[in-house]
A and B are shown apart, each in its own frame.
Chain A
Amino acid sequence: MIDRRSALALGLAVPGLAGLAACGPNASGGTGGGGGGGSADSGSLRLAWWGNPTRNENTENAVAAYKESAPDVTISLEPGEWSGYWDKLATQTAGGDFPDVVQMDEKYLAEYGERGALLDLAGAGLDTSEFVEGSVEVGELADVGLAAINAGLNAFAFAINPVVFEQAGVEIPDDTTWTWDDVIDTAVAISEATPDGTWGMTQMGSVQGLFQVWVRQAGQDQYKDGAAGFDAPTATAWFEWAKRIQDSGAGPDASTSVEDAAASMDQSLFNTGRIGMTVLWSNQVVAHDALAEKGILVLRPPSVAGSAAEAQLWYKASMYWAVSAKSANPEAAVAFVDFLVNSPEAGKVLSVERGVPGNLAVRESIVGDLDESSKKAVDFLNAIESELGAPPEITPQGGGEFEAILTRACDDMLFGTITAEEAAQRLLDELSAALS
């Protein structure tokens, strides 16, 4: 007899159990991936990357273009921002939910690669024969093979907002001869000639790329044989330079800088016309150019000697594509990565926003059609080609922490909690602890 009590019990128990069943974290994801089998032309893939509006659009278009040549492969997109990307990836790793194809950075290549999370692309048959000399090796790890393929080359650069310079009436400096002191002097001139709330430069003390330029110009490098490659006096001098930015008024005060560092690209002080000079990787030129009012100019970083030939710049793989070692669909994933880095079609869509393509054939096919912003990035890379220093070591395992360590030490110093020497010593100590 179905009386009220048993009807109520049924009504509660059934949805409750159904809800529990759906509660499993990978209930839908796992079966979707597993159903793909082993074919390169069918199945479903998940693609994760960090980016900005320009890159997100390019990537979507590239995926749409791939759909035309491989209609049976469904690719679900997981874009994100740099600041949350690594947390998300680590969380996904913990949940066994690593996306099939991920955009990878040099900082974390060893972290993921040496722990067996990435597939050996060369072993899986990825064709890298057309890549320019040196651009494939930067993705290789000793025990893994080719853990990730170079998605584009870039180099470290200064960006100028010409509108701010005009507003201040300051001339744009000659980037082949300027020194670190010249940078501060120019910035001070801008800060003084513009209203409150506009400064000459951003606080660059916590920027890892510029720090690397600094230590390379001191004859050292960020890493050497898997340990820290720089010494305390060099780091102290760096922090003192950073302190001067704040003290001289060249850049904003500490708390404004902290906020700016966390702001999104379109909300940053530089792109809203309140900073004259900032630093970036050359591939970010494209996105900044679109956001800043009248575009940007790309300059070399300064040198200690006042000569561009001694700036010790280097070509970096701006980012990589990697495939999960536990992907349910490795062949489809590798085929897709092959499309991304080796096909002129993808090269045209993705352009140089992620960096200049390593595949020379692709690079040649797109160079003619580049728009203004992309040309700026490519021209910069070509301009510094003859001035490069030795290529740096890949970040060893544990080195992914460096950016956070540098930021903390710099912030503490800028807020006056510690001195530049103490900051430098802490930088070295914490980096060594992280690497061990």
Chain B
Amino acid sequence: MAPLLEVRDLRIDFPTDDGLVKAVDGVSFSLDRGRTLGIVGESGSGKSVTSLGIMGLHHGTKAQITGEIRLDGEELAHADPARVRELRGAKMAMIFQDPLSSLHPFYKVGDQIVEAYRIHHRKATGKQARQHAVDMLGRVGIPQPAVRAEDYPHQFSGGMRQRVMIAMALCNDPELLIADEPTTALDVTVQAQILDLISDLQAEFGSAVIIITHDLGVVAELADDILVMYAGRAAEYGAGTGIFGQPGHPYTWGLLASMPRLDRERQTRLVPIPGTPPSLIRVPPGCPFHPRCRYTALTGGRCPTEVPVLREAVTPGHAAACHLTVAQKAREWAALSADQVPADAGEPEARQSVPQGGAES
């Protein structure tokens, strides 16, 4: 059976006065029903733009989109915007980072859910829609849903608001749910609840989920597959177990090494990735990560000139876009995970020697 969502060679460009911003530059992935894909990357790596492209929310902007997006076999990237609108909210739904600013401040939450339901269920009576909205609020764990449906978004706490957003996104039983940084604006304790809720509801509704985040902890908890994005391209893509067990890209190593972990010695220093993400107008030639990479010396000068393609990395089932050989990757990762911090890590001269990538877009 064909996957629910298939994205092939997706490119999204934004013409600006300063030049063409290549927000997404040839990304491919696929997602089956009931599975979860985590898209990871820094700000400006193109992860949110990818999701907006899938939802067709780039319409009305100057974005130029090429490539293929197939949802359940139906091509979306070049489809009629009106058709994409029909699917939006019904077959694919989205929740956003900040639930306070994402809910309309002037309408009651119940009415906002009713609106989302009735636009795709024209025959439903007001009473049915209302009942459905209250049911949904109850299912996402809001106490006294019938009462709270009459409240406005500002009367909810952050976690409850995100639950409302989830109820609204799931009210039409979508097959694809895209969660764009769903926990970033929430307290840590609430984050776990929301993530649990998403995975519970995923099991219940059987939908496919794309979770977009910069937080590897979130992906580790939820995702079956992981796509690591850097400068609008896929740096590494494959099964979550493979990527966490044997990551095959220095950028992923950097992300993992810069993440605090409870199972490590407290004295172990976190290793930051030097430099800043590159400008998406002037992406470095060759591998876009090479100005920040510590291993360019090992590839015999290929990094600044040759664009690496996604190819089988250390373990089967996941691929990385890096010129290092499998043996080199295995050795370097083994050294890294044995806490042999690279000699230059954290030293200011080393960071200054990295060319600055320009403004983050």
A and B, one complex? no
Interface residues of A (CB under 8 A from B): none
